[in-house]
Amino acid sequence: MRTSDSAPVIRRPGACAMGNIYRFIEPAVLRMLREKGQSYGYELAEGISSYALTDSQIDRSALYRTLRTLEENGYVRSRWETESTGPARRVYTLTRPGRQHLREWSKLMERLGGALLAFSRQVRTKL
């Protein structure tokens, strides 16, 4: 993509004029919690990029909003850990409904993956 009289604009996958695909933070968090068993917010923020579906930076505020929404919907549970040295920290765990929600995400992404692949092939054949 070029803007008038300028160098090409290089965009990372997952980023476009419409913004980043923040919604995909949710399945990444669910998967991370399933694999770790439990995790606290800082640890999730530090490790989420290895579970992310895009190479775009995941904003910590978006991560914490997602955790709050997941908890409100009953997909994760949190508790304050005060037994260790240092400040209290919130520890998150995946609930049974959260595991089911992750399975639903998996099915949705499988269908979406097929649709994206078909779209990409159609675009390449028309170029």
Per the structure, the count of domains in the chain is 1
In a domain, 98, yes or no: yes
Q: Is residue 13 part of a domain?
A: no
Burial (CB count within 10 angstroms: exposed 0-12, middle 13-18, buried 19+), residue 53: middle
**Which pLDDT does position 6 carry in this prediction?**
52
Q: Note whether residue 14 is domain-resident.
A: no
Domain membership of residue 84 (yes or no) is: yes
pLDDT tens digits for range 22-63 = 568 899 999 999 999 999 988 998 888 888 776 677 888 989
Whether residue 27 is contained in a domain is answered as yes
- Report whether pLDDT(80) > 60: yes
- The answer to whether residue 8 is domain-embedded is no
Does some domain include residue 4? no
Q: CATH code at 34?
A: 1.10.10.10
Q: What is the pLDDT of residue 23?
A: 61
Residue 33's pLDDT is what? 97
Domain that holds residue 46: 22-126
Q: Helices 96-126 and 25-36 sit at what angle, rounded to 10 degrees?
A: 130
Amino acid identity, position 8: P
The DSSP code sequence of 97-114 is HHHHHHHHHHHHHHHHHH
> Which amino acid is it at 88?
A
Residue reference for tokens 């004029």:
17
